[in-house]
Structures are given as C-alpha cells and as structure tokens.
Amino acid sequence: MDTVRARLDLAYDGTFFHGWAAQPGLRTVEGELVRALSLIARQEVAVTVAGRTDAGVHADHQVAHVDLPAQVWDSLPGRSSRTPEDALVDRLASLLTRAHGDFMKAHGLMSPRGYCDVALLSSHRVPETFDARFSAVGRHYVYRLLDQRAGSDPFSGRRIWTVPARQTLNLEAMAEAASSVIGEHDFLSFCKPREGATTIRTLRQLDVVAAGETSPILVRVHADAFCHSMVRSLVGALIDVGTGRRSPAWMRHLLDARSREAAAPLAPAHGLTLAHVDYPPADQWARRAQQTRAVRSLGCC
C-alpha cells in the first residue's frame, strides 16, 4: 500500500496528560493523537515523536511523523481548495478539541469554549528519509522557576515551579556547576536508564538566566538527545547548588560517579517545557537517522 509521510509540528499543555507515550487507561498526548489520526485514516496508525516527554511536561514545539495511506492523504481536502497539509491540521484540531471537551466534562472540569490542550502548529508532507526521532540533531528545553526575588504568578503556575520556602537562589554558583558538565559524558547519574540504551549524551548548553527580579529564572538546556528524566535531574541538581545544600563542585563529582545510587534529585515536571527540536538539511536526514541508531560509546559518534 502506498503511503505518505507527514511531519506534524505541535504544542501542548502537559497538565492533564500522563506524558507523551500511550498507556492503557491513561490520557496521554500520543494516545489522543493516534486516536484522532486513526479516525481520519480509518485504520490504526503509529506515530513517531522527537522526544517522549514525562507526565506534566509541556511542549512549545514538539515534532512527530505519521505514515498515512496515500488515498487518505489525497482525499483530505474533499471538495475544498485547501492543501492536504492544511486539511489535516483542521481535521486533527476538530477531533482533538472534541476529545478534550469530553475529558473535561467527564472529570467535572471547566475550560474556555473551543480550547484544547493540544495545538497542531503545522503539517508537511516529507520523504520517508525523515524520521522525527532519529533525524533530529538537537533538542532544546527550558525550565522556569521562581525564587524569593519574584512574587507569585497565579496565571503561570502550571508552567513555573516555585522554589520551596521561597529561598533566594545563588545563580553564580548554579552557573559554575552547570558549566562543569557541558560536553559529551555518560549521564547515568542524571538518567533513568532503559534496558539496552546508552546514557551517553552531548550536552551543548546548560545555563541559568534571570531576566529580571519579577521574571522567572530560566534554565536553558540543549543536547543532541536526552535520556529519561535527564533534564529534570540536571535542574534538580542545580537547585541543590543554588540553595546551598551542595557546592558547585558536587555536580561534576556526581557526573563522574556514573551511579544510580548517587542519582540527582528530580525537579517537578510542570516547570519543564520542550522548546524546540533541531533537524539538519533534508539531504542529511537519512544519514543522521543511521548515525543516531548506532550504538554509542564515549569518544565515538
């Protein structure tokens, strides 16, 4: 059967989701998206995503791909003048909004009319050499938090973590600690390893930015890829340094330990947002996917 590969760019509020990955009996982003796409395709479909976010984590710009039957793709516009790409976005938006409304009603929750916690930003037809997960060359996350310097923000509570006891963080100490773990390392002390998967990653950016006394502190994180809970562990370790529980040198010692017994503390999920996913030019998609699938060791690949 001929198929068409579609790239899907989306954003979501992770508050009422049990993460990205489909789980029986639980509401997840993948589960909602697959259910809507399967209705459109009139058959079961599978979705591949750039980054599987944890429960409660948000995304400003997530990327996924799906293979749809060519006949379904061609029929998406119906009698309208829309492109299949635009028609797919409209169909998905309608189905996801309806499903969101049903969920809120079933749980006695209120939300503005027409609101949905998943937004399809765009869709594009792409060649089969594009793989949302394996063609990516980088992921960017932002963690937002408040300390004693800023007043509480009732409108952003879903996306910002307030440091317990409203302590004032030592940003200079956090920056010193962050700089010590930049580069290619085995991040086992900051990851929950999956069987058969490596915990070696290249961390390209980990910095702490305070835009102003009343603005959230931003922890910006960029790597080629992340292992499970890695970003929240890095932020949790930085918080321990910023509150004075640990010295800046401790973070490097923790990295070098490569041990789950000395694992870093986890920052809460709701402060974390997937900001962006990087891809190489189209003619490098297949090569990048092949490189990413290869088993990785330190100093290699």
* pLDDT for 155: 64
* pLDDT for 153: 65
Q: Specify whether the CB–CB gap between 269 and 14 falls below 8 A.
A: yes
* pLDDT for 262: 76
* pLDDT for 157: 76
Q: Which residue has the higher pLDDT, 218 or 168?
A: 218
What pLDDT, in 10s, does the model give residues 102-139? 999 999 988 788 789 999 999 999 999 999 999 999 99
Query: Taking all residues of the chain, what is their mean pLDDT, rounded to a whole number?
Result: 92
Q: Is the pLDDT of residue 166 over 70?
A: no
| Residue 175 structure tokens | 């920056």
Distance CA(59)–CA(270), nearest Å, equals: 11
Q: What is the domain-level CATH number for residue 249?
A: 3.30.70.660
Instruction: State how beta strands 138-146 and 217-223 pair.
Output: antiparallel
Distance CA(259)–CA(165), nearest Å, equals: 30
Q: What is the domain-level CATH number for residue 23?
A: 3.30.70.580
* pLDDT for 240: 95
| Residue 44 structure tokens | 């079961």
- Asked if residue 96 belongs to a domain, the reply is yes
Going by pLDDT thresholds of 50, 70 and 90, the confidence category of residue 297 is low
Q: Is the pLDDT of residue 277 over 90?
A: yes
Q: Specify whether the CB–CB gap between 42 and 101 falls below 8 A.
A: no
Q: For residue 231, give the nearest of 170, 147, 141 by alpha carbon.
A: 141
**What does the buried/exposed string (b/e) look like for 126-155 if buried means 16 or more CB atoms within 10 Å of the residue's CB?**
beeebbbbbbbebbbbbbbbbbeebeeeee
Q: For residue 31, give the nearest of 10, 17, 14, 16 by alpha carbon.
A: 17
- One domain, residues 25 and 73: yes
* Lowest mean pLDDT segment, chosen from 24-33, 117-126, 142-151, 204-213: 142-151
Report the pLDDT averaged over residues 149-160: 72
Distance CA(93)–CA(114), nearest Å, equals: 10
Q: Which of 126, 147, 179 is the last residue of a domain?
A: 126
* pLDDT for 299: 54
Report the pLDDT averaged over residues 201-222: 91
* pLDDT for 123: 98
Report the pLDDT averaged over residues 160-185: 92
- Asked if residue 218 belongs to a domain, the reply is yes
Please give the tally of structural domains in the chain: 2
Q: Which residue has the higher pLDDT, 90 or 166?
A: 90
Where would I find the H helices in the chain?
Answer: 29-41, 70-75, 84-106, 171-179, 230-242, 248-257, 285-293
The percentage of residues in the chain with a pLDDT greater than 70, rounded to a whole number, is 94
- Asked if residue 292 belongs to a domain, the reply is no
Distances (CA, A) of 202 to 76, 181, 183: 41, 10, 5
- One domain, residues 155 and 238: yes
Q: Specify whether the CB–CB gap between 171 and 210 falls below 8 A.
A: yes
Distance CA(162)–CA(146), nearest Å, equals: 5
Angle at CA of residue 76, ends 75 and 82, nearest 5°: 115
- Asked if residue 51 belongs to a domain, the reply is yes
Distance CA(57)–CA(50), nearest Å, equals: 14
* Catalytically active residues, by annotation: 54
Distance CA(181)–CA(185), nearest Å, equals: 8
Report the pLDDT averaged over residues 75-92: 96
* pLDDT for 264: 81
- Asked if residue 300 belongs to a domain, the reply is no
Going by pLDDT thresholds of 50, 70 and 90, the confidence category of residue 300 is very low
* pLDDT for 149: 67
- Asked if residue 298 belongs to a domain, the reply is no
Distance CA(84)–CA(55), nearest Å, equals: 32
Q: Which residue has the higher pLDDT, 1 or 11?
A: 11
List the domain range (segments joined by +) for residue 162.
Answer: 138-278
* pLDDT for 112: 80
* pLDDT for 301: 41
What pLDDT, in 10s, does the model give residues 214-268? 689 999 999 999 999 999 999 999 999 999 999 999 999 999 999 877 778 899 9
What pLDDT, in 10s, does the model give residues 21-62? 999 999 999 999 999 999 999 999 999 999 999 999 999 999
Give backbone dihedrals phi and psi of 179, rounded to 5 degrees, phi first: -65, -20
- Asked if residue 284 belongs to a domain, the reply is no
Q: Is the pLDDT of residue 275 over 90?
A: yes
The percentage of residues in the chain with a pLDDT greater than 90, rounded to a whole number, is 79
